[in-house]
Amino acid sequence: MMKFRLLQAHEPLPMELLLEADPSERLVRAYCAAGWCMIAEREGSVIGVYVLLALSNTTVEIKNLVVAESFRSRGYGRQFLQRALTEAMHRGFQFVEIGTGNSSLDQLALYQKCGFRIHAIDSDFFKRNYPEPIFENGIECRDMIRLRYTVSS
Ligand SMILES: CC(C)(COP(=O)(O)OP(=O)(O)OC[C@H]1O[C@@H](n2cnc3c(N)ncnc32)[C@H](O)[C@@H]1OP(=O)(O)O)[C@@H](O)C(=O)NCCC(=O)NCCS
């Protein structure tokens, strides 16, 4: 059985997992400190994480979403996203945003399947914020594609 819980301030961050979704430890620490870090546990071990950060009174961002490698492609990613959307609704937000790289094709598919729509592009975000070039699917990751989900009332 899998259970989600809010990571408490005194607990260490599951940094190895968080870095799989975002290679900047500096950014990860900053948004985990300011937001809600939710961990998914199964038989005592952490199998995934998502982090919510309020951007305004109406909008919350999913800053990090990761499923441990050995648990991928079993529907957990979709389940985590749905859990994050429900939580955002309960916390009273109207919009949920998520950003991903132009090269993250599986993630772009997953987010759109879950009802997110492309909302904006932050050109050269990855070039500005990450010192090393990132390649996925043979594509250089340069721009952040921002997607938004509208919570129905
Ligand atoms: C992105 C991530 C969270 C998805 O988690 P997951 O548990 O593998 O996802 P799911 O099993 O729920 O799959 C959801 C969708 O993703 C896509 N997908 C997942 N595995 C795939 C694979 N091996 N090949 C192609 N598409 C795949 C499919 O579109 C699938 O849709 P479907 O449910 O209609 O089949 C996971 O791969 C991960 O942690 N990646 C590393 C961290 C990361 O990149 N995070 C996002 C940063 S923006």
Read off the pLDDT of residues 19-40 as tens digits, 9 standing for 90 and up: 999 988 999 999 999 999 999 9
Report whether pLDDT(131) > 90: no
pLDDT at residue number 152: 83
Give me the domains of the chain, ranges plus CATH numbers.
Answer: 2-150 (3.40.630.30)
SS (H, E, C) 63-123: EEEEECHHHCCCCHHHHHHHHHHHHHHHCCCCEEEEEEECCCHHHHHHHHHCCCEEEEEEC
Question: Cβ(66) to ligand 1 under 6 A?
Answer: yes
Q: Which atom, in ligand 1's list, is nearest to the CA of 64?
A: 47
What band does 130 get if pLDDT is binned at 50, 70 and 90? confident
pLDDT at residue number 23: 85
Across the range 141-153, mean pLDDT stands at 94
Between the CA of 129 and the centroid of ligand 1 the distance, in Å, is: 24
pLDDT at residue number 69: 97
- Nearest residue (CA) to ligand 1, atom 2: 77
Between the CA of 141 and the centroid of ligand 1 the distance, in Å, is: 18
- Nearest residue (CA) to ligand 1, atom 5: 77
pLDDT at residue number 67: 98
What band does 54 get if pLDDT is binned at 50, 70 and 90? very high
Question: Cβ(102) to ligand 1 under 6 A?
Answer: no
Question: Cβ(110) to ligand 1 under 6 A?
Answer: yes
Report whether pLDDT(153) > 80: no
d(CA 25, CA 37): 15
Read off the pLDDT of residues 72-120 as tens digits, 9 standing for 90 and up: 999 999 999 999 999 999 999 999 999 999 999 999 999 999 999 999 9
Question: Cβ(16) to ligand 1 under 6 A?
Answer: no
